[in-house]
Copies of this chain bind each other. A is one copy, B any other.
Amino acid sequence: MTCNYLEKEHKNEMRAVQDSMDVLSGKWKIAIISSICYYNKRRFSDILDDIDGISNKMLSKELKELELNKLVKRTVLDSQPVTVQYELTEHGKTLQTIINNLTEWGIKHRKEILGK
C-alpha cells in the first residue's frame, strides 16, 4: 500500500474518517443500526431485547444521536399505550457497505489474532 497523495488531501481524508467514526463509535451504535436493519422496523423495547447488556438509558441516548445524524427515523404510533417505531433512513442504509466490510474484517482479524 502506498499513500503517495498530497499532504492536504491526507488531512482532509483524516477529517472525513474521523467524522464517520464520531457518528459510529458509540458503544452500541452499530448494534442498534444492525438490529433495526435486520427487522426493517423495530420498536424501542424490541431493540432493548435484541441487544445484550444495553440499558434503556443508553438505548435512548444512542437512538437520539442516530436520529440527529439522520441515520434513523422515529415514528410515534397512536396505539394504546404509545408505541414508537424506528427505521433506517435512506442515508442510514448507505452504511451497509461499511458494516459489511467491518464484518468481513472482524472475522479475518479474529483468525489473525488467535492464530490460524
Contact = CB atoms under 8 A, between A and B. Distances in A.
Interface residues of A, number: 46
Contacts of A39: 3
Interface of A: 1-3, 10, 13-21, 23-25, 30-31, 34, 37-40, 69-70, 88, 91, 93-99, 101-110, 112-113
Contacts of A18: 30-31, 106
Copies of this chain per assembly: 2
Tell me if A's interface is mostly helix, strand, loop or mixed: helix
A105 B20 contact: yes
Interface pairs A-B: 4 shortest CB-CB: A16-B106, A19-B106, A20-B106, A20-B102
Nearest to A19: B106
Nearest to A38: B3
A103 B99 CA distance: 14
Contact of A14 (B10, B34, B88, B110): B34
Given A38-B10, A113-B70, A17 B106 contact: yes
